[in-house]
Amino acid sequence: MNDEVYYDSHFNANEWFVIAMIVFGLLTIVILPKKFTPVQTLFTLLIGIVFGLIFDHTIGLPPFDLYDVGDDSNYHLFDIFSYAMYAPFGYLFIYLYKWLGLKGYYIIPYIVIWSLLSVGIEWLSLLVGVFHYKNGYRLMFSFPIYLFLQSIHYLLFQTLLVNKSSVNENKNT
């Protein structure tokens, strides 16, 4: 196995990929009909960024140091933008769940599909140089992480925002 990491130092495919993901994601959000309160919208946008930061700073830095983000192993200003590309995914994950009206066990295949989609996007990110794996990390290791994060995302949304809003509505009647 070759764990040698190749970096670049120019503004090229990895930066354009991040910009395209942010622009495409935000345009999609703007175009879609609004389904959420401002608090729900903010939550769904920020949760993706928060999860990205937590995992990048947990397994992407020493002592684990399993991958780097961007053009080298140090963080740069543009690497901060790479976290913004996670925001639309958090929003769209919950938006489509609500639009489809999923209930009960149907959320399980939905989370599995989104985890596979996430691995696919990560694979593209790997190809263009957004991520650089090292110390034995492999793409397949990301799948259970996505399963976990999207399950937590769903549970947090349901517990903090959906159930709370229905309790508040009952108090007002």
Residue ranges of E strands in 2-156: 67-69, 131-133
pLDDT at 23: 96
Digit-coded pLDDT (tens) for 126-154: 999 999 999 999 999 999 999 999 999 99
pLDDT at 173: 47
* Residues of the chain below pLDDT 70: 1-8, 163-173
Contact 13, 129 (CB under 8 A): yes
C-alpha 38, offset from chain centre = 20
Contact 28, 141 (CB under 8 A): no
Tokens read off for 137: 């990390």
Domain ranges for the chain: 13-166
pLDDT at 69: 85
In angstroms, rounded to a whole number, what is the distance separating the alpha carbons of residues 75 and 62?
Answer: 13
pLDDT at 170: 44
